[in-house]
Each structure stands twice: as structure tokens, then as C-alpha cells.
Structure 1
Amino acid sequence: MSSASVQIEQEIKHKRKGDLIFPTDFRGIGTEGAIKMALTRLNKEGIIQRLGHGIYLLPKTDPVFGKISPAPEEIANAIAKRDKIKIKPAGAYALHKLGLTTQVPTKLVYLTNGPSKEIKIGKTTIKFKATTQKKLAMQGKYSSLIVQALGELGVENIDTNTEKRLKELLLLEDPKILKEDLKLATGKINDYLIKLI
């Protein structure tokens, strides 16, 4: 076994169960090839579990539920942290986060200032969609998601129940932040939300 392989195994032993592991975590220890070989071996031995291309997990086991896998959202956030990029939920996933749909999307779409890419984790797909700085500049916990969701749905397709829920969420938002976020929305979305509140 190479010294890089031994060192990688030692580093993994010091991680917490449930931690996500990326090949880039071990840069500087060995070559790309050596890192890949070490992770492949540890996966075969059951020490780590391969979740998707270049994404591994130090398995965590619950006495009742068995193996616990991280939520796709955790994986997306870990990738964003690794790549030093910003991400924001978009589309159907933004609707789900707002509680405007009970349907859990099998494709989690995030807007990003990084490159566009898709990552498959089991039956779920995480999609990073490159966007403008303007769309990522929104700060509101609710308003940024509402603007993304309305961009996906179209303001003309909002039913009265959804409208009521949007109004409730907007009232929870910090008015200063909401005002700033509205400056970044399209004219159509701005007009719709102003009428709503």
C-alpha cells in the first residue's frame, strides 16, 4: 500500500461518521491517480460509500434505521463549500422550500455563480444552473425564494391559495431586505408583489 493511501485512510479515520468526502480533500497528499485508487479501495472495503461521481460518505448507522444518508440539500451545500461558489434554490425546489408544494422534486435546481453541472445521487439529481450575480444578490430568507419561484411559475399562473401563502411569507420578511430584493426582481414580479403586500 502506498504512503498516500495510508495517509488518506488515516485522515478519513479522523473524520466524523456522516461526513462527506471529496477527492480534492486529499490534494497535496498524492497524485490524482493515487487518491482515486485509495478511495476506490476504501469504498470496496466498505469503509466509505460512493454516493456519486467524486462524492463519498463516511457511513453513519442508526440502530433503528440502519445506514443514514445525507439529504441532497446537504450534499449540494457541501459541493458549494468545496467549490467556493454561491447557490440558491430555484424552480420547483424553491416552491417546495416555501411550502407551496408538497411534492418533493427529484431534481434539485440551484442557481449558482459557478459553472452549470448536474450531479446524480441515487434517484435524485442536483443541478447547478449558472446565473447572473444580480439573481444571487437577493438576501431575503423568503423574498429571494419567492422571486425565484415566481420566475419559474409566472405571476399569471398563481392561484388564490398560493397567493395567500405568498402574502403571509412576505409579511415575515424584513421590510428593508424585501425592498432591496424587489429592486433586483423583474418589473413584472415587482409589480405583482407590490400589489400583493
Structure 2
Amino acid sequence: MSRFSIKARMQRSIALRKGEVVLRADFAQLGSPSQISRALKALQAEGRIVRLGYGVYAKARPSVLSGRPIPRVTLAELAQETLRKLGAPAELGRAQQAYAQGRRTQIPAHTTFNTGQRRISRKITVGISTVRYENDYKPRA
């Protein structure tokens, strides 16, 4: 039996990780699903992590304005890292690529990712901002 609680072990694991995104599946070996759920809720209540979507969390810091926990990096970076960890191919959307390459001067209003031939329905949200997906999927004729 470990002398540290599951919550303490999860907190240490999160702190030692290089990336900003943490998946619930990363903690499967630490305990039962209900124990992991309780520990994740406790870490959320303490402001150490924020929930991005189903089974997806990000490292957090207190907001300068409100003091509430917010992710340490932008939604675009979090979404890209999340999709990479889940094994889904993701590139910036057409509008964001055009802006990054200097072909357009209008700043894209939404965070959009092109997923190629893959259809994704996962919702990744920070506050009121949600990631959108575009793809090259063509249904059968």
C-alpha cells in the first residue's frame, strides 16, 4: 500500500508532465474509476486543473482578473495537444492557415482544425470558446 493518497499521486504526476493536457486514461493504473473521479473533482476544486471535455483536463493557474482557475496556454494549443494525444490528425483550419501565411489580414474568430478524412465529434471547451472541426470527408454518393 502506498503511503500517498491517489489525489497526491495524481497531483505529482500532473506537475511532472511536460505537456499541458492530461487525459483521464493516464491515471487508470492508480485506482478505481470512482477514486479517480473523486480525485479529479478535488483537483478541479483546488484550481490545479480545469476540465476541457470528456476525460480531458489541462493544467491551470489563477486568472489575473477574477482569480478563478484558467488554462496556462491558449485553446488552440490545448486542442492541438489533445488531438495529438488521442491519435487524431489535426492541422490548423483554412482561415487560420491563410492568416498565419499572410494571405489574409482578418483574424479568424473561431479556433478551427482540419481533421482530413477523419470525422471528430469530441467537444473541447474553455469557458465559452469551443473548438470547431472542418474535414475533407465526402459521404458516399
Give the TM-score taking structure 1 as reference length: 0.51
How many percent identity over aligned positions? 21
1:102 aligned residue (106, 121, 138) = 106
CA RMSD of aligned residues (A): 3.2
Query: For structure 1, which runs of at least 5 residues remain unmatched after alignment?
Result: 133-197
2:14 aligned residue (12, 15, 21) = 12
Letter in 1 for 2:14: I
Bigger helix share: 1
How many residue pairs align between the two structures?
128
1:125 aligned residue (123, 126, 130) = 130
The Cα of 1:42 is off from its aligned counterpart by 0.7
User: Is the alpha carbon distance of 1:122 and 1:88 closer, same or farther for their aligned partners in structure 2, counting shifts above 3 Å?
Assistant: same
The Cα of 1:4 is off from its aligned counterpart by 3.3
Give the TM-score taking structure 2 as reference length: 0.67
User: Is the alpha carbon distance of 1:113 and 1:10 closer, same or farther for their aligned partners in structure 2, counting shifts above 3 Å?
Assistant: farther
- Whether the 8 Å contact between 1:85 and 1:112 is mirrored in structure 2 is no
Residue in structure 2 matched with residue 28 of structure 1 by the alignment: 29
The Cα of 1:41 is off from its aligned counterpart by 0.7
Letter in 2 for 1:9: Q
Could you tell me how far apart the structure 1 residues matched to 2:130 and 2:113 are? 8
- Whether the 8 Å contact between 1:93 and 1:105 is mirrored in structure 2 is no
Residue in structure 1 matched with residue 115 of structure 2 by the alignment: 111
**What SS is found at the alignment partner of 1:27?**
helix
Map Cα deviations across residues 60-98 of structure 1 (whole Å, 9 max, x no partner): 4799xx866312221122112211221122232332232
- Whether the 8 Å contact between 1:60 and 1:69 is mirrored in structure 2 is yes
**What SS is found at the alignment partner of 1:101?**
coil
Query: For structure 2, which runs of at least 5 residues remain unmatched after alignment?
Result: none
Map Cα deviations across residues 156-181 of structure 1 (whole Å, 9 max, x no partner): xxxxxxxxxxxxxxxxxxxxxxxxxx
The Cα of 1:108 is off from its aligned counterpart by 1.5
Could you tell me how far apart the structure 2 residues matched to 1:113 and 1:6 are? 41
User: Is the alpha carbon distance of 1:89 and 1:28 closer, same or farther for their aligned partners in structure 2, counting shifts above 3 Å?
Assistant: same
Could you tell me how far apart the structure 2 residues matched to 1:87 and 1:12 are? 24
